[in-house]
Amino acid sequence: MTKLIAGNWKMHGTSADLGEVRAIAARSAELGGRVEVALCVPATLIHRAAETVPGFAIGAQDMHHKEKGAHTGDLCASMLHDAGAGLVIVGHSERREAHRESDADVRAKAEAGLATGLRVIVCVGESLAEREAGRAVATVSGQVDASLPQGDIDHGRLAVAYEPIWAIGTGRVAGTDDIEEMHAAIRQRLVAAYGQAGAGVRILYGGSVKPDNAGEIFAVPEVGGALVGGASLKAADFLPIVEAAA
Ligand code: PEP
């Protein structure tokens, strides 16, 4: 399966950074269909980025699960789509922690995103305390079971990102054995949830993916790509990761 490399710009980026988007889109186009690339930029930049690089996948980093209503400051899936987003990240650990988002919230967002035609990346991952207590696989399996969208969904537009919280933005990367074990456990949960369709859902790894470790991570069985934070901000860092997946 073609790998998906999605950048997560978090709260970084203004129109001054559109040159990075341009450079990333241009090289990705040169790589043809060998790898899929997307950039999840701040909501304020979605429209301009999408206009700057037509045909390249621009995404959002969160959404509200409802279609409209009294939700000051929130954005729904159809607004993101209207702005030019083709995908959305839901359940990032920074939102689960800082905004107290539950698995049920994440599931509702994923279902609404898919229903609106977006591609959806559902994030899961254990804390350091959970890993040290030997509960990493149980924790993540539980998150997957409770966060996965249900109902009549297009599984081809769904991806799961395994992001150990202790590896995000820390420079610490999960060992390849741990990544393999966790991705196998997630695959099992996907197949339990969706049957054969669960075998085709991409599982991304995220957590301090850099040009110098991307190759070995992408060689791990069941790693279908990466969700990349810090190293996605500059084309010079992000493109070697994209190329490693091509
Ligand atoms: C992320 O934000 O999803 C992430 C994995 O960040 P980083 O690559 O900086 O660890």
| pLDDT > 90? residue 195 | yes
Please check whether residue 136 is in contact with residue 164, taking contact to mean a CB–CB distance below 8 angstroms: yes
pLDDT tens, position by position, 136-147:
999 999 999 999
Query: What would the DSSP string read from start to end of 170-201?
Result: TS----HHHHHHHHHHHHHHHHHHHGGGGGGS
243 annotated active-site: no
Q: Measured in angstroms, how far is the CA atom of residue 69 from the centroid of ligand 1?
A: 31
CATH 3.40.1390.10 for the 3-245 domain, yes or no: no
163 annotated active-site: yes
Atom of ligand 1 nearest to the CA of 206: 5
Q: How confident is the model at residue 32 (pLDDT cuts 50, 70, 90)?
A: confident
Provide the whole-model pTM.
0.98
Per-residue pLDDT at 129:
96
Give the closest residue (by CA) to ligand 1 atom 4.
Answer: 229
Nearest to 190 by CA among 202, 205, 176, 207: 202
Q: Measured in angstroms, how far is the CA atom of residue 9 from the centroid of ligand 1?
A: 9
Q: Does 229 count as an annotated binding residue? A: yes
Q: Does 169 count as an annotated binding residue? A: yes
Domain assignments of the chain as residue spans, ordered by start: 3-245
Pocket of ligand 1 (CB under 6 A): 8, 10, 163, 168-169, 206-209, 227-231
Look up residue 189 and give its two tokens.
């949960």
Q: How confident is the model at residue 219 (pLDDT cuts 50, 70, 90)?
A: very high
d(CA 17, CA 130): 37
Say which of 111, 126, 163, 243 is annotated catalytic.
Answer: 163
Q: Mapping DSSP to helix (H, G, I), strand (E, B) and coil, where does residue 101 land? A: coil
